[in-house]
Structure 1
Amino acid sequence: MTIVVEALCTGLPRPFNGAELSAIDKRPAQGPVMIRRFGLEGDMVADTRHHGGPDMAVHHYPNDHYSAWAEWLGGHDLLSGPSAFGENIEATGLVETDVRIGDRFRLGEALLEVSQPRKPCWKIEHRFGRKGMVAHIVKTHISGWYYRVIEEGIAQSGDHLTKVDEGKTDWTVARLFAALYDPSCKPAPDQLEEICMLEKLSEAVRLSLSRKL
Protein backbone atom coordinates (compact mmCIF):
# COMPACT_ATOMS: atom_id res chain seq x y z
CA MET A 1 0.00 0.00 0.00
CA THR A 2 1.48 3.32 -1.12
CA ILE A 3 0.05 6.83 -1.21
CA VAL A 4 1.55 10.23 -2.01
CA VAL A 5 1.95 12.79 0.76
CA GLU A 6 0.61 16.10 -0.48
CA ALA A 7 2.07 18.14 2.39
CA LEU A 8 3.87 17.86 5.70
CA CYS A 9 2.43 20.47 8.04
CA THR A 10 3.85 22.11 11.14
CA GLY A 11 2.72 24.75 13.58
CA LEU A 12 3.71 26.62 16.72
CA PRO A 13 1.52 27.40 19.74
CA ARG A 14 -0.62 30.49 19.18
CA PRO A 15 -3.44 32.17 21.13
CA PHE A 16 -6.52 30.06 20.55
CA ASN A 17 -9.22 30.61 23.17
CA GLY A 18 -8.49 33.52 25.44
CA ALA A 19 -5.34 32.59 27.36
CA GLU A 20 -5.40 29.09 25.89
CA LEU A 21 -2.65 28.24 23.39
CA SER A 22 -2.82 25.67 20.60
CA ALA A 23 -0.70 24.52 17.66
CA ILE A 24 -3.68 23.09 15.74
CA ASP A 25 -3.24 25.80 13.08
CA LYS A 26 -0.54 24.19 10.94
CA ARG A 27 0.91 25.15 7.56
CA PRO A 28 2.75 23.16 4.87
CA ALA A 29 6.49 23.03 5.43
CA GLN A 30 8.60 24.33 2.58
CA GLY A 31 11.21 21.81 1.47
CA PRO A 32 12.59 18.82 3.39
CA VAL A 33 11.61 18.28 7.02
CA MET A 34 13.45 16.26 9.64
CA ILE A 35 11.13 13.83 11.42
CA ARG A 36 12.45 13.13 14.89
CA ARG A 37 11.29 10.96 17.80
CA PHE A 38 9.04 13.70 19.12
CA GLY A 39 7.71 14.82 15.74
CA LEU A 40 8.47 17.10 12.83
CA GLU A 41 11.07 19.81 13.27
CA GLY A 42 9.27 23.13 13.45
CA ASP A 43 6.16 21.57 14.99
CA MET A 44 5.31 22.03 18.65
CA VAL A 45 2.61 21.03 21.12
CA ALA A 46 0.95 23.55 23.43
CA ASP A 47 -0.89 21.12 25.73
CA THR A 48 1.79 18.60 26.67
CA ARG A 49 -0.54 16.92 29.16
CA HIS A 50 -2.86 15.58 26.46
CA HIS A 51 -0.77 15.78 23.28
CA GLY A 52 2.72 15.05 22.06
CA GLY A 53 5.37 12.65 23.27
CA PRO A 54 6.94 9.76 21.36
CA ASP A 55 3.67 7.81 21.00
CA MET A 56 1.92 10.82 19.46
CA ALA A 57 4.78 12.19 17.41
CA VAL A 58 3.08 12.47 13.99
CA HIS A 59 -0.63 13.02 13.36
CA HIS A 60 -2.35 11.73 10.21
CA TYR A 61 -5.92 12.77 9.33
CA PRO A 62 -7.17 11.51 5.95
CA ASN A 63 -8.08 14.06 3.31
CA ASP A 64 -10.59 11.42 2.22
CA HIS A 65 -12.97 12.72 4.91
CA TYR A 66 -12.93 16.35 3.82
CA SER A 67 -15.77 16.04 1.28
CA ALA A 68 -18.03 14.34 3.83
CA TRP A 69 -17.21 17.07 6.34
CA ALA A 70 -18.02 19.74 3.76
CA GLU A 71 -21.44 18.16 3.28
CA TRP A 72 -22.04 17.74 7.02
CA LEU A 73 -20.96 21.29 7.82
CA GLY A 74 -22.60 22.84 4.79
CA GLY A 75 -19.18 23.96 3.59
CA HIS A 76 -16.35 25.58 5.51
CA ASP A 77 -13.35 27.70 4.46
CA LEU A 78 -10.94 25.59 6.52
CA LEU A 79 -11.65 22.54 4.35
CA SER A 80 -10.22 24.29 1.30
CA GLY A 81 -6.90 24.90 3.03
CA PRO A 82 -4.18 22.72 4.53
CA SER A 83 -4.34 20.76 7.77
CA ALA A 84 -7.90 21.64 8.72
CA PHE A 85 -7.78 19.15 11.61
CA GLY A 86 -4.25 19.98 12.72
CA GLU A 87 -2.71 17.00 10.97
CA ASN A 88 1.00 16.72 10.17
CA ILE A 89 0.46 14.44 7.18
CA GLU A 90 -1.89 15.59 4.43
CA ALA A 91 -2.70 12.70 2.10
CA THR A 92 -5.51 10.82 0.38
CA GLY A 93 -6.02 7.08 0.00
CA LEU A 94 -5.54 5.72 3.51
CA VAL A 95 -8.33 5.68 6.13
CA GLU A 96 -8.97 4.28 9.59
CA THR A 97 -10.38 0.97 8.37
CA ASP A 98 -7.19 0.35 6.35
CA VAL A 99 -4.72 0.91 9.17
CA ARG A 100 -3.92 -1.40 12.08
CA ILE A 101 -2.12 -0.70 15.33
CA GLY A 102 1.52 -1.59 14.74
CA ASP A 103 1.49 -1.07 10.96
CA ARG A 104 4.77 0.45 9.82
CA PHE A 105 5.15 2.97 7.02
CA ARG A 106 8.21 4.39 5.32
CA LEU A 107 8.02 8.13 4.63
CA GLY A 108 11.14 9.45 2.98
CA GLU A 109 13.97 8.34 5.24
CA ALA A 110 11.73 8.02 8.32
CA LEU A 111 10.03 4.86 9.56
CA LEU A 112 6.68 5.42 11.30
CA GLU A 113 4.55 3.01 13.36
CA VAL A 114 0.81 3.40 14.04
CA SER A 115 0.37 3.80 17.80
CA GLN A 116 -3.21 4.92 18.56
CA PRO A 117 -6.34 6.66 17.25
CA ARG A 118 -6.69 10.36 17.82
CA LYS A 119 -9.22 11.14 20.53
CA PRO A 120 -11.12 14.26 19.44
CA CYS A 121 -11.38 17.23 21.78
CA TRP A 122 -13.17 20.57 22.01
CA LYS A 123 -10.44 22.34 20.05
CA ILE A 124 -11.75 20.93 16.77
CA GLU A 125 -15.16 22.47 17.40
CA HIS A 126 -13.62 25.77 18.52
CA ARG A 127 -11.42 25.89 15.41
CA PHE A 128 -14.38 25.32 13.08
CA GLY A 129 -16.84 27.30 15.17
CA ARG A 130 -19.32 24.43 15.13
CA LYS A 131 -20.77 22.28 17.87
CA GLY A 132 -21.39 18.57 17.37
CA MET A 133 -18.20 17.73 15.49
CA VAL A 134 -16.74 15.65 18.31
CA ALA A 135 -19.97 13.66 18.60
CA HIS A 136 -19.93 13.11 14.83
CA ILE A 137 -16.37 11.79 14.96
CA VAL A 138 -17.30 9.47 17.82
CA LYS A 139 -20.29 8.16 15.86
CA THR A 140 -18.50 7.72 12.51
CA HIS A 141 -15.05 6.70 13.82
CA ILE A 142 -13.26 9.09 11.42
CA SER A 143 -10.69 9.97 14.05
CA GLY A 144 -7.31 10.00 12.35
CA TRP A 145 -4.37 8.41 14.10
CA TYR A 146 -0.88 8.91 15.48
CA TYR A 147 2.49 7.42 14.60
CA ARG A 148 5.56 6.93 16.74
CA VAL A 149 8.89 7.39 14.97
CA ILE A 150 10.95 4.19 14.78
CA GLU A 151 13.68 5.64 12.57
CA GLU A 152 14.31 9.35 12.28
CA GLY A 153 14.86 10.84 8.85
CA ILE A 154 14.12 13.52 6.28
CA ALA A 155 10.88 13.64 4.27
CA GLN A 156 9.04 16.18 2.15
CA SER A 157 5.85 16.76 0.23
CA GLY A 158 5.59 14.48 -2.78
CA ASP A 159 7.22 11.57 -0.96
CA HIS A 160 5.47 8.23 -0.83
CA LEU A 161 4.02 6.82 2.37
CA THR A 162 4.49 3.08 1.93
CA LYS A 163 3.40 0.29 4.23
CA VAL A 164 6.42 -1.90 4.88
CA ASP A 165 5.17 -4.10 7.73
CA GLU A 166 1.76 -5.27 8.95
CA GLY A 167 0.72 -4.88 12.56
CA LYS A 168 0.18 -8.35 13.98
CA THR A 169 -3.38 -7.64 15.10
CA ASP A 170 -6.98 -7.45 13.89
CA TRP A 171 -7.45 -4.10 15.60
CA THR A 172 -7.77 -1.39 12.96
CA VAL A 173 -7.75 2.24 14.04
CA ALA A 174 -11.50 2.45 13.37
CA ARG A 175 -12.33 -0.69 15.37
CA LEU A 176 -10.15 0.36 18.28
CA PHE A 177 -11.55 3.90 18.31
CA ALA A 178 -15.09 2.50 18.41
CA ALA A 179 -14.26 0.17 21.29
CA LEU A 180 -12.61 2.91 23.31
CA TYR A 181 -14.83 5.93 22.67
CA ASP A 182 -18.17 5.09 21.01
CA PRO A 183 -20.83 4.42 23.68
CA SER A 184 -22.93 2.50 21.15
CA CYS A 185 -20.15 -0.05 20.79
CA LYS A 186 -19.87 -2.20 23.88
CA PRO A 187 -16.86 -4.49 23.63
CA ALA A 188 -16.85 -7.65 25.72
CA PRO A 189 -14.48 -7.85 28.69
CA ASP A 190 -12.20 -10.25 26.82
CA GLN A 191 -11.93 -7.76 23.97
CA LEU A 192 -10.93 -5.00 26.38
CA GLU A 193 -8.31 -7.29 27.87
CA GLU A 194 -7.09 -8.02 24.34
CA ILE A 195 -6.72 -4.30 23.71
CA CYS A 196 -4.67 -3.93 26.89
CA MET A 197 -2.35 -6.62 25.59
CA LEU A 198 -1.66 -4.86 22.28
CA GLU A 199 2.10 -4.48 22.39
CA LYS A 200 2.22 -1.62 19.87
CA LEU A 201 -0.62 0.41 21.37
CA SER A 202 0.54 3.60 23.05
CA GLU A 203 1.36 3.25 26.72
CA ALA A 204 -1.01 6.03 27.79
CA VAL A 205 -4.04 4.36 26.18
CA ARG A 206 -3.17 0.96 27.62
CA LEU A 207 -2.70 2.36 31.12
CA SER A 208 -5.94 4.32 30.95
CA LEU A 209 -7.90 1.26 29.88
CA SER A 210 -6.17 -0.92 32.47
CA ARG A 211 -7.27 1.45 35.24
CA LYS A 212 -10.88 1.25 34.03
CA LEU A 213 -10.73 -2.53 33.97
Structure 2
Amino acid sequence: MDFISTFQSGGFSMYILLICFIMVLVIAGERYKYYKSVKVNNEDFIEQLKIILKQKNWKYAMELCKSDESLISAVAETGIESLINKKANISAAIEARSAVVIANLKRNLNFLDTMVMIAPIIGLLGTVLNIMASLNEKVEQTSGIGVIIAGALSSTAFGLFIAASSIVILSYFNYRLEKMTNEIGEISNMLNSQTLKNDEK
Protein backbone atom coordinates (compact mmCIF):
# COMPACT_ATOMS: atom_id res chain seq x y z
CA MET A 1 0.00 0.00 0.00
CA ASP A 2 2.86 2.38 0.87
CA PHE A 3 4.50 1.67 -2.49
CA ILE A 4 1.28 2.45 -4.37
CA SER A 5 0.81 5.68 -2.40
CA THR A 6 4.41 6.72 -3.05
CA PHE A 7 4.02 5.90 -6.75
CA GLN A 8 0.81 7.91 -7.06
CA SER A 9 2.29 10.85 -5.15
CA GLY A 10 4.94 11.17 -7.86
CA GLY A 11 2.30 12.38 -10.29
CA PHE A 12 1.77 11.76 -14.00
CA SER A 13 5.52 11.49 -14.72
CA MET A 14 5.63 8.23 -12.74
CA TYR A 15 3.41 6.55 -15.34
CA ILE A 16 5.67 7.78 -18.16
CA LEU A 17 8.68 6.44 -16.26
CA LEU A 18 6.90 3.14 -15.65
CA ILE A 19 6.39 2.73 -19.41
CA CYS A 20 10.08 3.54 -19.94
CA PHE A 21 11.10 0.97 -17.32
CA ILE A 22 8.91 -1.72 -18.87
CA MET A 23 10.49 -1.00 -22.28
CA VAL A 24 13.97 -1.25 -20.73
CA LEU A 25 13.08 -4.67 -19.27
CA VAL A 26 11.57 -5.86 -22.58
CA ILE A 27 14.66 -4.82 -24.56
CA ALA A 28 16.99 -6.32 -21.95
CA GLY A 29 15.09 -9.61 -22.15
CA GLU A 30 15.09 -9.63 -25.96
CA ARG A 31 18.82 -8.82 -26.15
CA TYR A 32 19.69 -11.40 -23.49
CA LYS A 33 17.77 -14.06 -25.39
CA TYR A 34 19.53 -13.09 -28.64
CA TYR A 35 23.02 -12.96 -27.10
CA LYS A 36 22.39 -16.28 -25.35
CA SER A 37 21.59 -17.86 -28.72
CA VAL A 38 24.90 -16.57 -30.08
CA LYS A 39 28.17 -18.29 -29.23
CA VAL A 40 30.37 -15.96 -27.19
CA ASN A 41 33.43 -18.09 -26.47
CA ASN A 42 34.88 -18.66 -29.92
CA GLU A 43 38.52 -19.21 -28.92
CA ASP A 44 38.49 -22.89 -29.92
CA PHE A 45 36.95 -22.11 -33.31
CA ILE A 46 39.49 -19.36 -34.00
CA GLU A 47 42.44 -21.60 -33.05
CA GLN A 48 41.16 -24.43 -35.27
CA LEU A 49 40.62 -22.03 -38.15
CA LYS A 50 44.16 -20.64 -37.79
CA ILE A 51 45.64 -24.12 -38.20
CA ILE A 52 43.42 -24.93 -41.19
CA LEU A 53 44.18 -21.63 -42.93
CA LYS A 54 47.92 -22.24 -42.57
CA GLN A 55 47.38 -25.58 -44.31
CA LYS A 56 45.27 -23.79 -46.97
CA ASN A 57 42.62 -26.48 -46.68
CA TRP A 58 39.72 -24.29 -47.85
CA LYS A 59 37.21 -27.13 -48.10
CA TYR A 60 37.77 -28.20 -44.49
CA ALA A 61 37.68 -24.55 -43.42
CA MET A 62 34.24 -24.15 -45.02
CA GLU A 63 33.01 -27.33 -43.32
CA LEU A 64 34.25 -26.02 -39.96
CA CYS A 65 32.41 -22.72 -40.45
CA LYS A 66 29.15 -24.40 -41.45
CA SER A 67 29.27 -26.81 -38.52
CA ASP A 68 29.96 -24.04 -36.00
CA GLU A 69 26.84 -21.95 -36.76
CA SER A 70 27.98 -18.82 -34.90
CA LEU A 71 28.18 -15.18 -35.98
CA ILE A 72 31.97 -15.39 -36.06
CA SER A 73 31.88 -18.44 -38.33
CA ALA A 74 29.44 -16.63 -40.65
CA VAL A 75 32.02 -13.86 -41.16
CA ALA A 76 34.77 -16.43 -41.67
CA GLU A 77 32.64 -18.37 -44.15
CA THR A 78 32.11 -15.22 -46.24
CA GLY A 79 35.86 -14.57 -46.38
CA ILE A 80 36.79 -18.18 -47.16
CA GLU A 81 34.16 -18.36 -49.90
CA SER A 82 35.68 -15.22 -51.43
CA LEU A 83 39.14 -16.80 -51.26
CA ILE A 84 37.91 -19.98 -52.95
CA ASN A 85 36.18 -18.02 -55.72
CA LYS A 86 39.23 -15.72 -55.97
CA LYS A 87 37.17 -12.57 -55.72
CA ALA A 88 39.07 -9.33 -56.22
CA ASN A 89 37.92 -7.46 -53.11
CA ILE A 90 37.81 -9.98 -50.28
CA SER A 91 38.24 -7.29 -47.61
CA ALA A 92 35.06 -5.56 -48.77
CA ALA A 93 33.10 -8.82 -48.57
CA ILE A 94 34.36 -9.47 -45.03
CA GLU A 95 33.62 -5.90 -43.93
CA ALA A 96 30.10 -6.03 -45.39
CA ARG A 97 29.31 -9.27 -43.56
CA SER A 98 30.91 -7.97 -40.35
CA ALA A 99 28.81 -4.80 -40.54
CA VAL A 100 25.59 -6.85 -40.69
CA VAL A 101 26.66 -9.03 -37.75
CA ILE A 102 27.66 -6.05 -35.59
CA ALA A 103 24.46 -4.19 -36.50
CA ASN A 104 22.42 -7.18 -35.27
CA LEU A 105 24.41 -7.22 -32.03
CA LYS A 106 23.86 -3.48 -31.49
CA ARG A 107 20.14 -3.52 -32.28
CA ASN A 108 18.02 -1.66 -29.67
CA LEU A 109 21.02 -0.90 -27.43
CA ASN A 110 20.74 2.78 -28.39
CA PHE A 111 17.37 2.88 -26.61
CA LEU A 112 19.06 1.89 -23.34
CA ASP A 113 21.62 4.63 -23.92
CA THR A 114 18.78 7.11 -24.41
CA MET A 115 17.10 5.98 -21.18
CA VAL A 116 20.30 6.73 -19.25
CA MET A 117 19.97 10.38 -20.29
CA ILE A 118 16.23 10.95 -20.50
CA ALA A 119 14.86 9.05 -17.46
CA PRO A 120 16.44 11.36 -14.84
CA ILE A 121 15.21 14.40 -16.81
CA ILE A 122 11.63 13.09 -16.88
CA GLY A 123 11.87 12.34 -13.16
CA LEU A 124 13.24 15.79 -12.37
CA LEU A 125 10.58 17.44 -14.52
CA GLY A 126 7.91 15.52 -12.63
CA THR A 127 9.36 16.68 -9.31
CA VAL A 128 9.41 20.32 -10.40
CA LEU A 129 5.84 20.20 -11.70
CA ASN A 130 4.59 18.52 -8.52
CA ILE A 131 6.29 21.09 -6.29
CA MET A 132 4.90 23.94 -8.40
CA ALA A 133 1.42 22.45 -8.12
CA SER A 134 1.77 22.09 -4.35
CA LEU A 135 2.80 25.74 -3.99
CA ASN A 136 -0.51 26.76 -5.54
CA GLU A 137 -2.37 24.89 -2.82
CA LYS A 138 -2.83 26.07 0.75
CA VAL A 139 -0.88 23.88 3.13
CA GLU A 140 -1.70 24.65 6.75
CA GLN A 141 1.04 22.62 8.41
CA THR A 142 4.76 22.55 7.74
CA SER A 143 4.70 18.76 7.87
CA GLY A 144 2.23 18.83 5.01
CA ILE A 145 4.78 20.58 2.82
CA GLY A 146 7.35 17.91 3.71
CA VAL A 147 4.98 15.13 2.65
CA ILE A 148 4.27 16.85 -0.67
CA ILE A 149 7.97 17.41 -1.40
CA ALA A 150 8.79 13.80 -0.46
CA GLY A 151 6.11 12.59 -2.85
CA ALA A 152 7.35 14.89 -5.58
CA LEU A 153 10.92 13.61 -5.19
CA SER A 154 9.76 10.04 -5.80
CA SER A 155 9.64 10.72 -9.54
CA THR A 156 13.28 11.87 -9.49
CA ALA A 157 14.25 8.76 -7.53
CA PHE A 158 12.42 6.51 -10.01
CA GLY A 159 14.07 8.26 -12.94
CA LEU A 160 17.52 7.77 -11.40
CA PHE A 161 16.71 4.11 -10.70
CA ILE A 162 15.78 3.55 -14.36
CA ALA A 163 18.96 5.31 -15.51
CA ALA A 164 21.12 3.22 -13.16
CA SER A 165 19.42 0.00 -14.28
CA SER A 166 19.95 0.95 -17.94
CA ILE A 167 23.65 1.63 -17.30
CA VAL A 168 24.16 -1.80 -15.71
CA ILE A 169 22.27 -3.59 -18.51
CA LEU A 170 24.03 -1.58 -21.23
CA SER A 171 27.46 -2.26 -19.70
CA TYR A 172 26.79 -6.00 -19.73
CA PHE A 173 25.79 -6.05 -23.40
CA ASN A 174 28.60 -3.66 -24.40
CA TYR A 175 31.09 -6.05 -22.79
CA ARG A 176 29.77 -8.95 -24.83
CA LEU A 177 29.58 -6.78 -27.96
CA GLU A 178 33.20 -5.67 -27.58
CA LYS A 179 34.34 -9.27 -27.09
CA MET A 180 32.59 -10.43 -30.27
CA THR A 181 33.76 -7.37 -32.22
CA ASN A 182 37.37 -8.16 -31.30
CA GLU A 183 36.89 -11.77 -32.41
CA ILE A 184 35.42 -10.61 -35.72
CA GLY A 185 38.44 -8.32 -36.15
CA GLU A 186 40.78 -11.24 -35.49
CA ILE A 187 39.00 -13.38 -38.08
CA SER A 188 39.14 -10.54 -40.61
CA ASN A 189 42.89 -10.07 -40.07
CA MET A 190 43.50 -13.79 -40.51
CA LEU A 191 41.62 -13.91 -43.81
CA ASN A 192 43.15 -10.66 -45.07
CA SER A 193 46.62 -12.05 -44.37
CA GLN A 194 45.74 -15.08 -46.50
CA THR A 195 44.69 -12.70 -49.29
CA LEU A 196 48.04 -10.90 -49.13
CA LYS A 197 49.92 -14.21 -49.28
CA ASN A 198 47.92 -15.25 -52.34
CA ASP A 199 48.59 -11.88 -54.01
CA GLU A 200 52.34 -12.25 -53.41
CA LYS A 201 52.23 -15.51 -55.33
Q: TM (normalized to structure 2)? A: 0.24
Which of structures 1 and 2 has the bigger CA Rg? Answer: 2
Q: Which has the higher contact order (CA 8 A, sep 6+)?
A: 2
Which structure's residues are more often strand, by fraction? 1
Which structure's residues are more often helix, by fraction? 2
Q: TM (normalized to structure 1)? A: 0.23
